[in-house]
Each structure stands twice: as C-alpha cells, then as structure tokens.
Amino acid sequence: MRAKAKLYPKEAARLLREKPGVREAVTGATLHFERNRLKAYAEVPIEEWRERAKAVKDHVLTHLDHYLELAERRLRENGVQVHWAETPEDAHRVLREVVHRRGVKRAVKAKSMLTEELGVNPLLESLGVEVYETDLGEYLIQLLGEPPSHIVGPAIHLSLGEIQKLFHARFGTPLDASPEALAQVARRVLREAFLSAELGLSGANFLVAETGTLALMENEGNIRLSTSLPKVHVAFVGIEKLLPRFADLALFLPLTARAATGQRLATFVSLIQGPAREGEEGPEEVHVVLVDHGRTALLHDLEAWETLRCLRCGACLNACPVYRQTGGHPYGYVYSGPIGAVLDPGLLGLEEAYPLPYASTLCGACYEACPVKIPIPRLLLTWRHRAAEEGLTPSWEHGAMRAFRKVMESPALYRLFSKGLRGLPLPQDLLPLLRAWTEGRGPLRPSPKPFHELWKEVADGR
C-alpha cells in the first residue's frame, strides 16, 4: 500500500467535516472493545502477564538471528518451503512463481496486515488472479475498494446502514436486511470461493521457532478454510513475529485475545505444522515468507526498536481518543492509531510519515492498554524530537518555539509578554497558533492580573 501519511492533518479534518458518521461508528465500536478489554484484563494478574510478555519479546528480538535460523530449520524439517523477503518485491517474486507454476486463477485470503503492507492484492490482480478476502470485515472493505480502518476490525468505520446499502447494490439484498442475513450472503459467496481456490493466503500471529509452528487467531473460521482447503498455502510472516518456545503460546494467545477483543481466547486458533502428510487432508504445499521490509533497520534503532514487540492487537487504537474521532484512514498507512504513529516512521522513514507522531495528545491511554508495554508516548516524543531536529516541522512552528524560548528564558521579557497579553499586540509568529485556537474556543481571556503581580499583594498581606 502506498503511504499517504503526509496528508494526515488535512485528511483528519476533512473526514470530521464530511463524514461525521465515521466518528460515531468508530467511537461506538472502540468503546465497546475497550470496555471488554478492561473486563478481561481485570480477570487476570495482567501486570505480571504484560511484564512476562514484554520480557519474552525482548529476548526474541535481541536474539533474532538465532531464532530466525532455528525457525527456518524447523519449518523445513516440517516440509514447509521457507523464503526470505527483504522487500515487497522479494515477496511478490515468491507469489508470482507459485501463481505461474500452479496455474492459480483464484485465491482466498485471510485477514493480514502484512499482506496489506506488501500490496499482495494488487499484485495478484495484475497477474489475473481473483482474490477473495474471507474475513467479513475485510471482505466489506474489499468490495468498497478501501484500505482497512483498524488493525483488528478493518470495517470498524462502517455503519450497518452503509453495509446494507453496499450489499443491496452488489447482491440485491433488501435495504433492511439483518446482519445475520448479510453474513449469510457473504458466506455463500465465500464458500464458493473457498471450494474453487487453488491458493490460500494468510499472515501469522506468531511463529514458534522451537517447533516451526504457525499460530493464527480468528473468530470466523475463515483462516482455517483458507489454509486447509486450497492445495497451496502461502503465509507471510514479519520477522518480529517470532516466539522462542511452543510453551510461550500459552501466554501470548490469551493475552492477545484479551487485549484485542476482551476474549479469553480467540474462537479459533490454528496451529499449522506444515503440509498434509500421506493420507491426510490439507494443502500439498506450504510456503512461509519471512518478511523484513524495514524491520531489521528498526531493530537497530536504539531509541525505537521496542516498537517491534507489537502484537497487532489493536488495543492501543481502541484506547486512543484521537483515533476514535476519525478511525484509521486519515493516518494514510496500513498501521494507524498510536502504534501506527510510531511504527510507520520506523518502517517508512520519518520524512514519509512526518505528521503522524503529532497525532496524539500524549495522554498515555495507549501505553496503559498495550499488552507488551510498548512505551508509545515516549516513542512519540522521540520521533517528534527527530522531526524537529531534521527540520521537518513547519518553519512558523520552529519560529514560534524559538520566540517562546526567548521570552521564557528571561523573566523581564516574560513580564513584558504578560503585559502584552493584556493589551499590546502579540508577536507575529504566534498569530497562526492563536487563530487556530480561538476559532473553536473563543478569545483567550487572561486573568485581570497575572499571579506574579498578585503574589506581591498576597505576600504583603500575610
């Protein structure tokens, strides 16, 4: 997917103006997830879980070469074909080869953010392959030609009414069809696709190095079908998704489910251990594509590497009051919300993602929610610092900050400014800031006298 992160401020404003329904839908859905998460966290010693999960992830990330080699060996022993993809093009090459060799006409695809990152759908379409997103939400946005709005709930920004309209136009269902009836229709279409597809695509929630096991979590059953019915299964796995031991799943599966949706465990968990053996049903070929796409570079960034602990659970999005106003689209990249604001600069480069670290009030709700304790507010500060250092911030802003520093460095100037605030004209540099403030909130009304003047009165009257 091409990043449009640069447009964030404009797009966020436009969306709020033009599509107020999105705000309503997203706020409703995220608050629902958030309440469920809080309940689910409260049932377990969550601080211990978070601490342990963080420690496991830190261990695996700081010994990544070792675990990647181990995973590759185990996967091969299990009969899986392993590929390394440093770039999206590398990943495309693997897919192209499979499509040509197996004469693939139709592919079913389980929801995966990494495949969005790699642009798998446009590639397959360019090869003449029909792709079906099989996750219901993902299918909806595929029909609309939109990118996902949320890591876990891609269609979180749509209201029931919009989905009814979409299905009415596509499949002729009544405009007041129930959600169940709509799901029935989707199921019918997708079932047909499952049975006829030659290729199944998926991502992975985890890859266990010790056993070469792919772990996939879902609630709809479509991943199971995507990875078991077609003759070929290709899984794209970010290299940060590794876990050392099989036993680690006992922590990470319930923790991720609790963080994401407030469930104790996902409805379906698939543990994939290679292609079908003699006499078994299942795919003849399983491919695992280990994808870098900027991750190694981020891992070597001493101030930002912790971002890679991310489990893509979406809890930080649900907790984020900024995300709630607009959903994910204005962020302009696959990963939106608080994690997007710190992951996108890491993966795309800060220049590409520049405004995103500013898409936060630093309220800290994301950090509180994150199951692996990624210090998102601290990372936001780091990226902002770099943005200012690299001169990416607007010059009026830098000017205003310099003026601010000048004033605050000198008590005499500060007192002069204080007088100015109560009558004299303000410095030019501050004007755009002031206008942006007063438009929605009315004029600033300073106290009749500042405290530093009142102090003299209080001090004398003791």
Partner 1 sequence: MRVALFITCLADQFYAEAGVAAVRLLRALGVEVDFPEGQTCCGQPAFNAGYWDEARPLAKRTLEVFEEAEYVVLPSGSCASMVKNHYPELLPGNREALAMAEKTYELSQFLVRVLGVEKLGEGLKGRKVAYHHGCHALRELGVREEPLLLLQNAGAEVLPWEAWEECCGFGGLFSVKLPEVSLAMADRKLATLPEAEVLTSTDAGCLLHLSGRMGKKGLGLRVAPLATLLWEAYAG
Q: Binding residue for ligand SF4 (CB under 6 A) from 64, 259, 290, 348?
A: 259
For residue 120, state whether it binds ligand SF4 (rule: CB under 6 A): no
- With CB under 5 to 8 Å by kind, the binding choice for 455 among ligand SF4, partner 1, none is partner 1
**Using the rule CB under 6 A, is 312 a contact of ligand SF4?**
yes
174: exposed, middle or buried (Cβ count in 10 Å: 0-12, 13-18, 19+): exposed
Q: How many amino acids of this chain bind partner 1 (CB under 8 A)?
A: 69
Backbone angles phi, psi at 63, to 5 degrees: -130, 35
> For residues 67 and 325, what is the distance between their CA atoms, to the nearest angstrom?
40
Decide if residue 223 touches ligand SF4 (CB under 6 A).
Answer: no
283 backbone dihedrals φ, ψ, rounded to 5°: -70, 150
Distant-in-sequence, close-in-space partners of 381: CB < 8 Å, separation ≥ 6 = 362
CB 3 within 8 A of CB 348: yes
Binding mask 340-379 for ligand SF4 (x = CB under 6 A): -----------------------------xxxx-x-----
Residue 156 as a binder of ligand SF4 (CB under 6 A): the answer is no
Provide, rounded to whole angstroms, the least separation between the CB of residue 162 and ligand SF4: 26
Tell me: does residue 320 bind ligand SF4 (CB under 6 A): no
Structure tokens at 406: 């000048």
Over the window 411 to 450, marking each residue x when it contacts partner 1 by CB under 8 A and - when it does not, the resulting string is: x--x---x--x----------xx--xx-xxxx-xxxxxxx
389 binds, among ligand SF4, partner 1, none (CB under 5 to 8 A by kind): partner 1
Instruction: Please tell me whether residue 310 binds ligand SF4 under the rule CB under 6 A.
Output: yes
Q: Which does 315 bind (CB under 5 to 8 A by kind): partner 1, ligand SF4, none?
A: ligand SF4
| Footprint on this chain of partner 1 (rule: CB under 8 A) | 9, 12-13, 16-17, 23, 27, 321-322, 324-326, 357-365, 367-368, 381, 383-389, 393, 397-398, 401-402, 404-405, 407-411, 414, 418, 421, 432-433, 436-437, 439-442, 444-455, 458-459, 462
